[in-house]
Amino acid sequence: MTVDSNDLKLAGRLATAAGELLLDLRATSGLTGKELGNAGDFRANEFLLKELARLCPDDAVLSEESSDDFVRLEADRVWIVDPVDGTREYGTEGHTDWAVHVALWERDGQTGVGALSVGAVALPALGVTYVNDGAPIEPADGLAATPRGDRPRVVISGTRPAAFSEAVAAAVGGELLSMGSAGAKAMAVVRGEADAYVHAGGQYEWDSAAPVAVAKSQGLWCSRADGLTLEYNQRDVFLPDLIICRPELAETILEVTRQA
């Protein structure tokens, strides 16, 4: 599918602007913890919905923070957004592992089959936004809690680690590293801070749509834990498991996760 550069720029601009709004709220509201997380979810969602309605009035939107009216199932273009991915981390002082996700799903006019075309992941606390334009992304180690050694790193959820996490790490001869939001973990693999991200603790389409679009544009393997394709804009938006990894690790990891 051909990516429209205007959609790409819009996704990046909206994710970045929502992130800046969240940083300002974090710095000036006096709120902390769950109250800050709730306020951030509301404000960022309000901003994204307003801008998408103004700039793309004919498009549908699927957002974590809004009711799903299923109009999107008949639409040719559906924006899939997570206003604050990692609300717990956003509400916790000092955490940078939270994100804003903006993705676009489009239906092919000839085949009727839809797929992700655009994805933007903003990491506001780090001052960066990644989009799926395929441009090289410089290796980095800014999110890592410990110095990087020679062993592969497998990032997992700190609150809902997959039952197969330790088995995956053992299979690749690696070590586990807990991080916050799905977007932060996926971008850790994109940036070369980690080598794989495995999850099976429950997610929804908005958790992975934008990160998967960016990761795929960088040549990374992205699939369900059983190796099947990740499908978006489905009636049931529950998408509980995810593998994002360096391609050469995919089969080794899937040998473990397929049996789980």
Instruction: Give 228-248 pLDDT, tens digit per residue.
Output: 999 999 999 999 999 999 999
The tokens describing 119, both together, are 């994805």
How many angstroms separate the Cα of 183 from the Cα of each of 46, 67, 136, 189, 212?
20, 22, 18, 10, 9
Nearest CA to 157 out of 207, 82, 231 is that of 207
* Strand, helix or coil for residue 34: helix
> Which band of pLDDT confidence, cut at 50, 70 and 90, is reported for residue 142?
low
> Which band of pLDDT confidence, cut at 50, 70 and 90, is reported for residue 78?
very high
Is residue 144's pLDDT more than 60?
no
Residue for token pair 């980095």: 140
Residue for token pair 């958790």: 207
Question: In sequence order, what DSSP letters do the residues of 224-242 get, joined into one string?
Answer: -TTSPPP--S-SS-B---E
CATH of 153-257, one of 3.40.50.300, 3.40.190.80, 3.40.630.40, 1.10.3720.10: 3.40.190.80
Q: Where are the domains of the chain?
A: 5-131, 153-257
Predicted local confidence at residue 1, as pLDDT: 67
Q: Are 143 and 179 in contact (CB under 8 A)?
A: yes
Is residue 56's pLDDT more than 90?
yes
For the chain, give the percent of residues with pLDDT over 90. 89
Q: Are 187 and 194 in contact (CB under 8 A)?
A: no
Q: Are 207 and 186 in contact (CB under 8 A)?
A: no
The residue length of the chain stands at: 260
Using the 8-state DSSP alphabet, how is residue 92 labeled? S
Instruction: Give 62-75 pLDDT, tens digit per residue.
Output: 999 999 989 999 99
pTM for this entry: 0.95
CATH number for the region 5-131 comes to 3.30.540.10
Q: How far apart are CA 154 and CA 178, in angstroms?
A: 9
Q: Are 12 and 131 in contact (CB under 8 A)?
A: yes
Q: How far apart are CA 4 and CA 29, in angstroms?
A: 37
* Mean pLDDT estimate for the chain: 94
Is residue 149's pLDDT more than 90?
no
197 strand-pairing partners: 155, 244
> Which band of pLDDT confidence, cut at 50, 70 and 90, is reported for residue 2?
confident
- What are the DSSP E strand ranges found in 90-145? 99-107, 114-123, 128-131
Q: How far apart are CA 205 and CA 82, in angstroms?
A: 9
Q: Are 164 and 257 in contact (CB under 8 A)?
A: yes
Amino acid at position 23, single letter: L
* Mean pLDDT in residue range 132-143: 80
The residue with greater pLDDT, 106 or 158, is: 106
* Mean pLDDT in residue range 71-97: 96
> Which band of pLDDT confidence, cut at 50, 70 and 90, is reported for residue 33?
very high
The 8 Å CB, 24+ separation contacts for 12-16 are: 12/102, 12/120, 12/122, 12/129, 12/131, 14/48, 14/51, 14/52, 14/102, 14/120, 15/100, 15/101, 15/102, 15/120, 15/121, 15/122, 15/129, 15/210, 16/100, 16/120, 16/122, 16/124, 16/129
